Amino acid sequence: MSTPELVPSPTTIIFVHVAKQQPVALQQLIQGLKTTQVPVVECTNYEEATTVLKTLTTAVVLISLDDKNQIMPLLAFAGEFEKVMKSGIVRTIVISQLDHPKLAALIKAKGVAEIVLFTITAKAAAFKVQQSVKTVQTNQQRQAITQELSLKSDLRKKATETASNEVSVKWVDAHEFKSDCWLFHSKEGAKNVMGRWLMEITGPSPSAGAWTQKQDSWCWAPRDVNDRSFTDPSEGSWHFRGRMPEFVWKTNRWRMVGDKPELVFIAPDLSRRHKIEALPEGGLALAKNSKSAEAKLPLIEASCNADYRAKFETPEQSEDRAIDLSSHASKGWNSNLKPDAEAKKWNQGDLSEDDPEDWNGTDLKRQQIYDSGRGVGQGTEGYESKDEEALPTLEGDFQSISVKLFRLAQTGLPSDQELTLVEYQQRQLTLDAGHGNFKTGEQLTFQVKVSKGDKPNFDFEVGSVIREVKALGFEDQYHLMVEAREQDLFKLERLYVILKERQKEVQKFFKDSKGS
């Protein structure tokens, strides 16, 4: 009988001869392998096999059994190499003459890949060895990629830490006054990444107040002008100089970014109390947590809860998920909508309106919820599609709408990676990602999912190219700057204009209700 040929491979094949009588197919397979360049090692016991296996990176092990007394030594051998067997870089096949109903379950639990009968043919045995060699080599390559990515991630973290340490952070005494409501939650306080400062700070959530642009800074003000829970307007107001603060609902903290950031409380007499201050000589001065701010921590945490606004609103408005915006309740509010004007302001980043919007980034991990009594996509004059494929419509009333972004499958990267849209300017999008295993120039397709209540309604894909990957300095936090296709962005833009309409409707309804 001719022996099937095997493709030469650097993976060693180990035969462990513990059976009293070797299968004919195994004998033929060994004879055939000896005429090739495949490395073959024959062992007469498990001690020899253990010594050999400890010197190898990958291997295919074939063990023959024909006596029940050989089972326990097999389990001991498999137990010693259980970890590498289950990792896939060592694959073990047992050729057995024993007919025991529990044998397969016992040895597979220890990492053995297969158990076959003595009656297997030489051709079938050769095929299994071929497949096993391919499997262990593939698994070895995957592990090498994983280790390389892990090493690169560690190097990036070390580089970030080194860059942060090169620019000093100086702690100064706390400012004790009634309106202090900001807390640092770590000893580091801030990190400097490539000349830009990144800080995460605990403070009142967007449910309690909003940042609005005032000249060259962002000013924080409570939603209710009579609310004195966090600040007293008679004392002054908080201002931040840098990028608009973004609230991260996952951690319930504000993310502040700036080249020369400044978080300062300005009194009516223009005196200043700095929580964050960029120093002229470089570095950053951070004020320690005050007792006044620490005393507000329970209230700050409560402001992150969905029912926080019940304190200021009527029972019908106490839950975002129960806002009644039907036409009979809102007294013709929908007659004032101006979609074209809203789109223009949003696209151009106009923050100069008298009644500013609360749009602290587009953190899509928090649901944007509006009950309007109309379907999304209806009553949006001026948004005729420029694309042949029109954006689907949500028919009829709806209680909630949620929008999330997901990575689509890509080689070597997870397919369930949820992304957060941080910023949108023309065709440039900034996405918040949970890992940095992306490359500049890499094509990225992500999916926008829109839900009607708890049920998915429609989704569409956005194709893009990654232009830049930035480490934020915090663990597992990266920003991706991507350039998207214009035809895909039209749908995304239109959807967000509609969402912003709903947000304006909610704010107007609250204002009208309180004034009536």
* pLDDT at 293 exceeding the cut of 90: yes
* pLDDT at residue 507, rounded to an integer: 66
Q: Which two tokens stand for residue 281?
A: 């000589």
3-state secondary structure 115-149: EEECCCCHHHHHHHHHHHHHHHHHHHHHHHHHHHH
Mean pLDDT lowest among 27-36, 170-179, 211-220, 335-344? 335-344
Q: Are 25 and 124 in contact (CB under 8 A)?
A: yes
Both 498 and 369 in one domain: the answer is yes
Which whole number is the average pLDDT over 187-192? 83
| Residue, of 397 and 61, whose pLDDT is higher | 61
* pLDDT at residue 336, rounded to an integer: 36
| Residue, of 389 and 11, whose pLDDT is higher | 11
Domain presence at residue 161: no
Domain presence at residue 19: yes
Both 188 and 279 in one domain: the answer is yes
* pLDDT at 302 exceeding the cut of 70: yes
Mean pLDDT lowest among 120-134, 143-157, 178-192, 293-307? 143-157
Taking Cα atoms as reference points, which of 292, 231, 238 lies closest to residue 263?
238
Q: Which two tokens stand for residue 260?
A: 């020369």
Q: How confident is the model at residue 474 (pLDDT cuts 50, 70, 90)?
A: low
Which range in 38-52, 170-184, 388-402, 421-435 is most confidently predicted, on average pLDDT? 170-184
Domain presence at residue 323: no
* pLDDT at residue 104, rounded to an integer: 84
Both 43 and 121 in one domain: the answer is yes
Mean pLDDT lowest among 165-174, 257-266, 288-297, 466-475? 466-475
- The rounded percent of the chain whose pLDDT value lies above 70 is 64
Which whole number is the average pLDDT over 435-459? 70
Three-class SS state of 101:
coil
* pLDDT at 468 exceeding the cut of 70: yes
Q: Which two tokens stand for residue 109?
A: 């639990």
Torsion of CA 17, 21, 22, 23, to 10 degrees: -150
Residue 287 domain boundaries: 169-305
Which whole number is the average pLDDT over 457-473? 75
* pLDDT at residue 27, rounded to an integer: 82
Count the Cβ atoms, other than its own, within 10 Å of residue 17. Answer: 17
* pLDDT at 139 exceeding the cut of 60: yes
Both 393 and 495 in one domain: the answer is yes
Both 288 and 352 in one domain: the answer is no
* pLDDT at residue 30, rounded to an integer: 82
Both 35 and 124 in one domain: the answer is yes
Both 483 and 349 in one domain: the answer is yes
Both 120 and 185 in one domain: the answer is no
- Count how many domains the chain has: 3
Domain presence at residue 335: yes
Q: How confident is the model at residue 512 (pLDDT cuts 50, 70, 90)?
A: low
Q: How confident is the model at residue 100 (pLDDT cuts 50, 70, 90)?
A: confident
Final residue of a domain: which of 272, 305, 338? Answer: 305
Residues 6+ apart with CB under 8 A from 99: none
Sheet holding 90-96, edge to edge: 40-43, 12-17, 59-65, 90-96, 114-117
| Residue, of 454 and 195, whose pLDDT is higher | 195
Domain presence at residue 407: yes
pLDDT in tens, 306-352: 656 445 443 433 333 333 333 333 333 333 334 444 334 333 333 33
CATH number at residue 42: 3.40.50.2300
| Residue, of 14 and 144, whose pLDDT is higher | 14
Q: Which two tokens stand for residue 123?
A: 């051709």
Both 117 and 207 in one domain: the answer is no
* pLDDT at 384 exceeding the cut of 60: no
| Residue, of 356 and 203, whose pLDDT is higher | 203
State the burial class of residue 218 (Cβ atoms within 10 Å of its Cβ: 0-12, 13-18, 19+): buried
Domain presence at residue 157: no
- The rounded percent of the chain whose pLDDT value lies above 90 is 21
Q: How many CA atoms lie within 13 A of 391 on its CB side?
A: 26
Both 501 and 367 in one domain: the answer is yes
Read off the pTM.
0.36
Both 506 and 450 in one domain: the answer is yes
Domain presence at residue 311: no
Domain presence at residue 155: no
Which range in 224-228, 263-267, 455-459, 479-483 is most confidently predicted, on average pLDDT? 263-267
Both 335 and 301 in one domain: the answer is no
The pLDDT mean for the chain works out to 73
* pLDDT at residue 418, rounded to an integer: 66
* pLDDT at 224 exceeding the cut of 70: yes
Final residue of a domain: which of 269, 289, 305? Answer: 305
- Sequence-ordered alpha helix ranges (H) in 296-418: 297-302, 327-330, 339-348
Number of residues that make up the chain = 516
User: Across-strand partners of 201?
Assistant: 184, 254
Angle at 463 between CA 342 and CA 143, to 5 degrees: 135
